[in-house]
Amino acid sequence: MKKLLLCFVFLFFCLFAGINVSAQTFSLESITSYPFISEVATSAKGQITAFCINKRELRNIYVAEETGFTLHKITNYNKDEGQEITDLNISPDGKWIEYVRDADHGAFDESVARNSSSLRGKIICVDPGHGGTASTDHYRVGPGGEREEWINLRVAQLLKKKLEEKGAKVIMTRTDDTFIPLNDRSKIAVINKADVFISIHHNATADTSVNFPIIYFHGAASENLAGVALGKDVALALQKYFYNKKISESLNSDYTIFPENGAAVLRNTYGIPAVLGEASFFTNPSEETRLKQEDYNSLEATAYLKALELFFNKPIPVIKPMQIPERIVPFKVFEEAERMNQAALDWEKDFTDGEKLMNSNDTNDLRKALNLFTLSAKYFPDSYLARDCHLHRAALLEKLNEPEKAKEERIRVKEFYVNLN
């Protein structure tokens, strides 16, 4: 079986932050006439060009900046292992280079290697969330009138195209603005024996300043190992390809927002590696404007593509029978529509005020702090602060001589909130 190593190099760091890379000056004409170039890639704006050059069977990546065309060697493979370098790409901002290093020592079929991908032959079920609900879901619309289901479908269609270009078979749960029951979406994935299920969503909240990604897996982290692994890959890819910066992210169990039995599309596909991704908040006015643009939708689709390539390039963890969530007392949260009211705006202030009180020796202050953390977690149960809300609740319950409830909270944190730091 062919093994593929998907590699990333941070070009900006290598070229401009003092990393010791070898440099030689060539003309573009002399480089492209070099007899042993096997790959060429150029950044979207054309400032950086990358090459794979084979010198005496040692294949390495070189990059050249448009200004002066100085060639930098950025990899240092110094042993001939017969490993071809293929699928050379540069991120749109020119900061990252991606390539596949092929560990197959057998015969080399250039036409296959150039199209090699960990996605080839995989069955991916892409679920554009919601659809056909404009008359009923009045809160799923941004301040400028853009509806979530429209954004979800655009991103899903772009992802479908990108996946198919990599050789994957894509099954869509909907292809237009039509309502598809949740159970039917799950059945589509199961009947088609999908290797992965990706449900694409975008988020809403009363706080219009909020914008960060939230990814959900079903059940408990120690049981749904594949879901957590896929969720981590999605979180990493969204940060790298969509936001292009370090941001706060949440990777949570769907029991954080549906505490009785999780989200239907994830519950009914349990056994298949699956996540539901809320890439950003369309209730943020600036983000809504960006989400109307196809180029921006394409960046998000690329992030999902890269996450799936990375996921299938590693051994896939197991998914154990689900037992733990049934043992955890549900933490009742406000319904989705309720989280859009004005009281929900205080989710971050409640957390900050609670932290100010939690070290007090006064029992009344401790109870106030406990209530503030509870409110923050109820109004924004999947925020990047929710995990800490429950950790603080556990500490306060210990101080208030409620050890069993404190233990319950710690289990909730361990199984329902994944620490991405």
Query: What's the pLDDT at 341?
Result: 79
Residue that terminates a domain, selected from 84, 114, 144: 114
Single out the residue of 367, 343, 373 nearest to residue 355, CA to CA: 373
Instruction: Confirm whether 136 is domain-assigned.
Output: yes
| In a shared domain, residues 130 and 107 | no
Does the predicted TM-score (pTM) go above 0.75? no
| In a shared domain, residues 391 and 260 | no
Residue 71 belongs to domain spanning = 4-114
Residue that terminates a domain, selected from 90, 114, 138: 114
Q: Under a CB-based contact definition with an 8 Å cutoff, are residues 25 and 35 in contact?
A: no
| In a shared domain, residues 305 and 180 | yes
Beginning with the edge strand found earlier in the chain, give each strand of the sheet holding 169-172 in spatial order.
Answer: 169-172, 123-128, 196-203, 274-281, 214-217, 250-253, 417-418
Q: Under a CB-based contact definition with an 8 Å cutoff, are residues 270 and 216 in contact?
A: no
Single out the residue of 88, 81, 80 nearest to residue 116, CA to CA: 88
Which residue bears the tokens 């990899």? 75
Single out the residue of 284, 230, 278 nearest to residue 250, CA to CA: 278
Can you give the length of the chain in residues? Answer: 421
| In a shared domain, residues 201 and 64 | no
> Given a cut of 70, is residue 128 above it in pLDDT?
yes
**C-alpha separations of 188 from 98, 197, 268, 359, 393 in Å:** 33, 10, 11, 51, 40
| In a shared domain, residues 253 and 377 | no
Strands 196-203 and 274-281: parallel
Q: What residues contact 159, with CB distance under 8 A and at least 6 apart?
A: 126, 170, 198, 200, 301, 304, 305
Instruction: Confirm whether 325 is domain-assigned.
Output: no
Which tens digit of pLDDT belongs to each residue from 23-80? 444 444 454 445 455 666 766 555 677 778 777 667 888 877 655 556 677 787 777 6
> Given a cut of 60, is residue 84 above it in pLDDT?
yes
Instruction: Confirm whether 329 is domain-assigned.
Output: no
* Average pLDDT of the chain, as a whole number: 85
- If one counts every other C-beta atom within 10 angstroms of the C-beta of residue 335, the result is 10
| In a shared domain, residues 165 and 284 | yes
Residue that terminates a domain, selected from 114, 144, 176: 114
Which SS3 state, helix, strand or coil, does residue 226 take?
helix
The residue that leads in pLDDT, 394 or 343, is 394
Which tens digit of pLDDT belongs to each residue from 319-336? 999 999 999 999 999 887
Instruction: Confirm whether 236 is domain-assigned.
Output: yes
Helix (H) or strand (E) holding 279: strand 274-281
Which tens digit of pLDDT belongs to each residue from 251-292? 999 999 999 999 999 999 999 999 999 999 999 999 999 999
Instruction: Confirm whether 404 is domain-assigned.
Output: yes
| In a shared domain, residues 130 and 233 | yes
Q: Give the pLDDT band of residue 223 (cuts 50, 70, 90).
A: very high
Instruction: Confirm whether 320 is domain-assigned.
Output: no
**Considering its fold, how many domains does the chain have in total?**
3
| In a shared domain, residues 93 and 209 | no
| In a shared domain, residues 57 and 151 | no
Show contacts of 163-166: CB within 8 Å, 24+ apart: 163/119, 163/124, 163/126, 163/305, 163/308, 166/117, 166/119, 166/120, 166/305, 166/309
The 3-state secondary structure of 53-81 reads EEECCEEEEEEEECCCCEEEECCCCCCCC
Which SS3 state, helix, strand or coil, does residue 156 take?
helix
Single out the residue of 183, 175, 136 nearest to residue 153, CA to CA: 175
| In a shared domain, residues 182 and 308 | yes
Mean pLDDT of 186-203: 97
Q: What's the CATH number where 277 sits?
A: 3.40.630.40
Query: What's the pLDDT at 117?
Result: 82
| In a shared domain, residues 36 and 154 | no
Query: What's the pLDDT at 245?
Result: 87
Helices (H), 109-263: 110-114, 148-165, 182-191, 225-237
Sign of CA pseudo-dihedral 158, 161, 165, 166: positive
Instruction: Confirm whether 321 is domain-assigned.
Output: no
Instruction: Confirm whether 322 is domain-assigned.
Output: no
| In a shared domain, residues 199 and 296 | yes
Mean pLDDT of 367-379: 97
